[in-house]
Amino acid sequence: MEGAMALSPVSNMIPPPQARDFLRAVGWGDAEILPLAGDASFRRYFRIAEPSRRAVLMDAPPPHEDPRPFIAIATWLAERGFRAPAILGSDLAHGLVLIEDFGDERLCETADAEPERQLDLYGAAIDILVDLHRHDAGDVPPYDRTVLHREADLLVEWYCPAVGIEPDLAGYTAAWDAVFELALASRPVTVLRDYHAENLMLTEHGYGLLDFQDALAGHPAYDLVSLLQDARRDVPEAIEAAMLARYHAATGADARFDAAYRVLGAQRNAKIIGIFTRLWKRDGKPRYPTLCPRVWGYLERDLAHPDLAPVKAWFDKHIPSSLRGDPMVVAQA
């Protein structure tokens, strides 16, 4: 999600021309190269398979992508006992990184297939965050007021024009500015930023972590929002409430944490609506706007918190409920 910056659709899953030489140099010269996935950025992933072992090749082509933050954060996480994929080799000049393969079993499909396990599955994910937040933030940029504003602005930059709204930009900025103080951590932690069910891999040693290259130092509530207000799958409100209670019990989080959770929830969901609209309008990816109704639901839930009153007032005035939804559908109404 955070890496959703593609300038063109990622549809070509032919391995990069340097892949075979790179694999040969790191001892995987005879392996089969199989398409695995593209994402919302220029990054692509290939499964590297031999009869007795597997790995994943990340193709992060420069100048659009830089794999060094991924390597640095993976190393930082592993040094603290978290299950980031091991780095098996890299060619930074060509943006190629060979990493440990965590397999195909993700939290999202497991929770969908076995809903009776959701409390345990999400509980284990919360416990990782509890542990992560015991550590001071790594050497990553700050998740400060400037970044929060820039991300929230994606909604008025992309969604509003797409559905025919000319927004009050000054009022929008002022409304957010009135609440962002609640979302600035007195003790920042490493915020992975895309901590959700599609990036949590079930392994025999617990969850494997993916997609953390855009980590920042910010408020611990942010990754809880990523997990419990998941843009790609419905998380029942009862699960959200139970997981927040679990985090509270483990950390002693207070009402101020809850306010930060709602502010960051609203901010993240506004950002995602903007990003998903941009992926449609600019990058030709029509799947993403169809996810917006779910994200609007989360956003409205967050705006109901009393500390979000200035932001709720702005939304109620400028984006009526009839204009909240899939921008492709709203634009045609």
* Per-residue H/E/C for the chain: CCCCCCCCCCCCCCCCCCHHHHHHHCCCCCCEEEEEEECCCCCEEEEEEECCEEEEEEECCCCCCCCHHHHHHHHHHHHCCCCCCCEEEEECCCCEEEEECCCCCEHHHHHHHCHHHHHHHHHHHHHHHHHHCCCCCCCCCECCHHHHHHHHHHHHHHHHHHCCCCCCHHHHHHHHHCCHHHHCCCCCEEECCCCCCCCEEEECCEEEECCCCCCEEECCHHHHHHHHCCCCCCCCHHHHHHHHHHHHHHHCCCHHHHHHHHHHHHHHHHHHHHHHHHHHHCCCCCCHHHHHHHHHHHHHHHHCCHHHHHHHHHHHHHCCHHHCCCHHHHHHC
Residues 73, 191, single domain; the answer is no
Q: Report the pLDDT averaged over residues 248-277.
A: 97
The answer on pLDDT for 1 being more than 50 is: no
Residue 6 is assigned to a structural domain of this protein: no
Specify whether 48 is located in the same domain as 166: no
- Per-residue pLDDT band for 6 (boundaries 50, 70, 90) equals very low
Q: Is 4 inside any structural domain? A: no
58 and 119 assigned to the same domain: no
Residue 2 lies in a domain: no
pLDDT of residue 3: 42
At residue 5, the pLDDT reads: 30
| CATH number of the domain bearing residue 232 | 3.90.1200.10
- Domain end (from 100, 134, 158): 100
- How does pLDDT run across 47-62, given as a tens digit for each residue? 999 999 999 999 999 9
Position 8 confidence tier, pLDDT thresholds 50, 70, 90: very low
Residue 41's pLDDT band, with cuts at 50, 70 and 90, is low
Do 126 and 206 share a domain, yes or no? yes
pLDDT value at residue 262: 98
Q: What is the mean pLDDT of residues 147-164?
A: 98
Average pLDDT rounded to a whole number, residues 139-161: 98
Residue 122 and residue 268 in one domain: yes
pLDDT of residue 43 exceeding 90, the answer is: no
67 and 185 both lie in a single domain? no
Q: Is residue 192 part of a domain?
A: yes
Residue 14 located in a structural domain: no
Domain count, the chain: 2
Looking at residue 39, what is its pLDDT?
A: 62
Average pLDDT over residues 144-172: 97
Full domain range(s) for residue 71: 19-100
Residue 13 falls inside a structural domain? no
The answer to whether residues 316 and 301 belong to one domain is yes
Residue 48: per-residue pLDDT:
97
| pLDDT for the residue numbered 42 | 80
Is 125 among the domain residues?
A: yes
> Are 42 and 189 within one domain?
no
User: What's the mean per-residue pLDDT of the chain?
Assistant: 94
For residues 266 and 288, membership in a common domain is answered with yes
Query: pLDDT > 70: what percent of the chain?
Result: 95
